[in-house]
A and B are shown apart, each in its own frame.
Chain A
Amino acid sequence: MTTAIPKQLKVALNWINSELGNSPDTVTRMFTPSGTDSVSVGVVYIEGLVSMDTVNGRIIHTLMDAPDLGDQKPLNCDGYFRFLKEKVVSVGRIAELSTSEEMLTALLDGYTVLLIDGCTSALAAQTPGGAKRSVEEPSSQTVIRGPKEGFTEDLGTNISLIRRKIKSSKLRFVQFKIGQVTQTDVVVSYIEDIANAKIVDEIQKRLESIDTDSILESGYIEEFIQDRTFTPFPTLLNMERPDSIVGGILEGQIAILVDGTPFVLLAPVTFNRFFQSSEDYYQRFDIASFLRIIRYGSFFVSMLLPSLYIAISTFHQEMLPTTLLISLAAQREGTPFPALVEAFIMELTFEVLREAGVRMPRAIGSAISIVGALVIGQAAVQAGLVSAAMVIVVSFTAISNFVIPSLSMATASRLIRFGMMILGGTFGLFGIMSGLMFLLIHMAGLRSFGIPFLLPISPVSVKNLKDVFIRVPKWAMTTRPRLISDPQSSRRQAPGQKPAPPDADHATGGESE
């Protein structure tokens, strides 16, 4: 259902105005450029989507000052059109439009549309602009050492952030428009020959099959393309840091950028990927490995600690050292609720405080949540509602939860925690083990774009294990992760780059060490 652009300028401008509902931010202007007397030109743009400097300086000003046409006048419509396109409008990206619908799309994309009286085609010049946030330090994924830039809401900026880090001609950006109403730009980015072509195809296929009216955030995309919905575990990674995304792309993963959000998706991902921070690769490998193990530990603590506490203190007291048992028992004297109920009260209280902390205005939010936790914790213990040990357990659980670099994985453990607490409170360690087994089966059955979720651990891939629980030194990571990256080009760097001090005197060249 396309309609041609009306020949008469007035009609065309009126049509645009009425289509956009005579919106006050639509600017239509009609004038006669210098050098001609007969041709009138119309300029249409939407204020706020365009840069006024560009529109005024590059289009309106140049049109008004257009060079003399000399002998060739009077020109016909096409001739003048070409003249404008090739000689006058000094803007990089230009498109020729032939239908009214294209004209509207171009306007809404931030183009400035030029119409010539009597022509059935229009010229769209890209004049991007409008209010946007500058590149700032990411707020949710901070590091101590490493680049301080974060993605912004603007797609173009985000693409440039990636492009600037990978100066390779193989870097690909494939654009999609998803959302019938919002017409959101979605860009898939990968490196050809490094990314696995099958997975690239799969992602493109899934993106193309999305049929919805709106995409406001990458979370929308995630829910449409993930392998399985009924799972607490995320199968796509979202990141705010260009260096993390670039790191993923260089390993053969595929980034999905969505206009309007700083959170970029990365797929396919495996379980271990949620415990890696880009900082791991900037720090020394020993501390990075140590921190990684701490993160895995924290994940399990945040998932299991309250349930283990309940199970051990109500089912398997023999495991506790006698002295600890006695002091725990002394604390529990006079506590009215069973351990399970006690834990539930404290956990729910914490979740309420946490949610309140997010909702409250930033200025008072953190203060209130800390005070709330302290006051409630302290007062509840003193009033004999809960035991002190339970407060310690719950607060340590909460703190561990913040250690996990990926927020989506952290929330998974928060939900699982409650289920585990019920199991631990009814069946002790047997219940917890059954729950863990269920989770393990579930995770082993999960796939992220065809890649097994537990990849380097099960099925075992010894080569991939170099970057899971420990991070080996950079020179030892000679290959890219198997299965994720293109099987044909797995070589990352030359082997044998281990640095060693020069053999000063011994020219015999014996192997060092």
Chain B
Amino acid sequence: MNEKITSLQASALIMFAIVPTGILLVPGAVVGVAGQNAWLSVLAGMVISVGLAILVGIVCRQYQDAPFLQWIEQRCGRLVAALLGLYLTRYYMTTAAVTLREFTNFISEEIMPNTPELLLKIIIMLVVVYAVIQGIETIVRVNIVIFFISVVLMFMGLFLIGENIEIRNLLPIWEGTPMSFMHGALLTLAWLSEVSLLLILGPYLRKNSPLIRTGIVGVMMAGSGILITVIVAMATFGNKITQMLTFPSFVIVSLVEIGSFLERLEIVFISLWIMTMYVKLAVFLFGAAHCFISAFKLETERLFILLLGLLILLTSQYSWANTAEFHRFTLMLGTPDLFASNIVLPLVIGVVLVVSSLWSKRVEGSG
């Protein structure tokens, strides 16, 4: 009765590995870069990322049953697998630490300025470690529950803020340079590139799941989540104020007033967002633990999950002195890292696959 992950569940998981920080930070960032073109940039980023999803899906199809690193080991040897495992562990850990930092930054700036961040982080990591110990299937199930709640709440939110939206703020459609447009698109792509999570998730999927479709659906859902947020933010505030706000999405919700008895609803949305954030962190900690454990073929999973969790907590607490430094890090190092790990890596694997299959054909042909 070992339930495996279904395609829908995997798509939803990919979505929630991207969306929580996506809707929080992308609107401010992309509008800041691309200005009036922001929503077109996001759309372009989405289209490119679908290509990435297809690439990841194809790579993933090569090793339906064995875990990713095991497969690498079979094809390229123990050393490569171990190195790759270490590299991916580092990548997932960094992302998790960055996410944790973003999470606590938001919580302490928006709702609890006086509570020590370390304590918040401890609480968060306790829950996250517990989730990862329960296993990926549990994370996926939790995610589905949250997925349904958030779809409902998102439509409700859209309905409520409809009054404040002025579509004409989106016009004129094209303004600004192609450079800034591309910059915005790449920024979006960086966020959406986390679809490469599918490399790790693949083997956990049910047999014969449509992997490519899973990736595409995940990316499309995440992309449309971000797109809707950007459009709504721009339509509500115009591009100038949106640039100024760090967390536009929640400010939009705070504008809602229903009569004089229901206002400041952002806390409700923040609460849901907190839950999605937990899922995201759990996914990345799972990624790190999975890579680490399968790279070194370790037996005692729990201990290492706990240790990795602790490491992430300390990294995110002590690596950056202040918010400005942190933002510079995510911009200067974080984005290239995302590109390297999520786009270049599957590309390389894809190329190697093609080359090696050509090679073996030639060998067969000659032999």
Residues of A within 8 A of B (CB): 198, 315-316, 318-319, 321-324, 427-434, 436-438, 440-442, 444-445, 450-452, 454, 457-460, 483
How close is B281's CB to chain A, nearest CB, in angstroms?
10
Interface residue ranges of B111-132 to A (CB < 8 Å): 111-112, 115, 120, 123-124, 127, 130-131
How close is A437's CB to chain B, nearest CB, in angstroms?
5
A/B pair count, beta carbons within 8 Å: 96
A445: chain B residues at CB < 8 Å are 134-135, 138
11 new A-B pairs (CB below 8 Å) besides A441-B139, A444-B134? A322-B260, A430-B274, A434-B274, A437-B127, A438-B127, A440-B146, A442-B134, A454-B141, A457-B148, A459-B3, A460-B144
A459 near B141 with CB under 8 A, answer yes
Q: Closest 7 CB pairs between A and B?
A: A444-B141, A445-B134, A458-B141, A321-B261, A458-B144, A445-B138, A450-B1
How close is B142's CB to chain A, nearest CB, in angstroms?
5
Given contacts A434-B274, A460-B8, contact A429 B267 (CB under 8 A): yes
B8's nearest neighbour on chain A, judged by CB, is A460
Cross-chain pairs A/B with CB under 8 angstroms, 14 sampled: A315-B112, A318-B264, A319-B263, A428-B112, A430-B274, A433-B271, A434-B123, A434-B274, A434-B278, A440-B142, A441-B127, A445-B135, A457-B145, A459-B9
B264 near A459 with CB under 8 A, answer no
Main SS class of interface, B = helix
Q: Which of B8, B130, B138 has the most C-beta atoms of chain A within 10 angstroms of its own C-beta?
A: B138
Interface magnitude class on chain B: 35 or more
Contact with A along B28-62 (1 / 0, CB 8 A): 00000000000000000000000000000000000
Q: How far is the CA of A62 from the CA of B264 in the complex (A)?
A: 87
B167 within 8 A of A: no
How close is B233's CB to chain A, nearest CB, in angstroms?
21
B86 within 8 A of A: no
A460's nearest neighbour on chain B, judged by CB, is B144
A322: chain B residues at CB < 8 Å are 260
B260 near A458 with CB under 8 A, answer no
Partner of A437 from B9, B265, B278 at Cβ < 8 Å: B278
A433: chain B residues at CB < 8 Å are 271, 274-275
Q: How far is the CA of A459 from the CA of B271 in the complex (A)?
A: 23
Q: How far is the CA of A395 from the CA of B144 in the complex (A)?
A: 34
Interface residue ranges of B68-119 to A (CB < 8 Å): 107, 111-112, 115
B278's nearest neighbour on chain A, judged by CB, is A437
A451 near B1 with CB under 8 A, answer yes
Q: How far is the CA of A434 from the CA of B263 in the complex (A)?
A: 24
Partner of A321 from B8, B135, B142, B260 at Cβ < 8 Å: B260
B1: chain A residues at CB < 8 Å are 198, 450-451, 483
B135: chain A residues at CB < 8 Å are 445
How close is B317's CB to chain A, nearest CB, in angstroms?
17
B263: chain A residues at CB < 8 Å are 318-319, 321
B133's nearest neighbour on chain A, judged by CB, is A445
B112 near A458 with CB under 8 A, answer no
Q: How far is the CA of A324 from the CA of B138 in the complex (A)?
A: 40
A437: chain B residues at CB < 8 Å are 127, 142, 274-275, 278
Contact with A along B252-285 (1 / 0, CB 8 A): 0000000011111101001100110010000000
Q: How far is the CA of A454 from the CA of B278 in the complex (A)?
A: 19
How close is A237's CB to chain B, nearest CB, in angstroms?
19
B6 within 8 A of A: yes
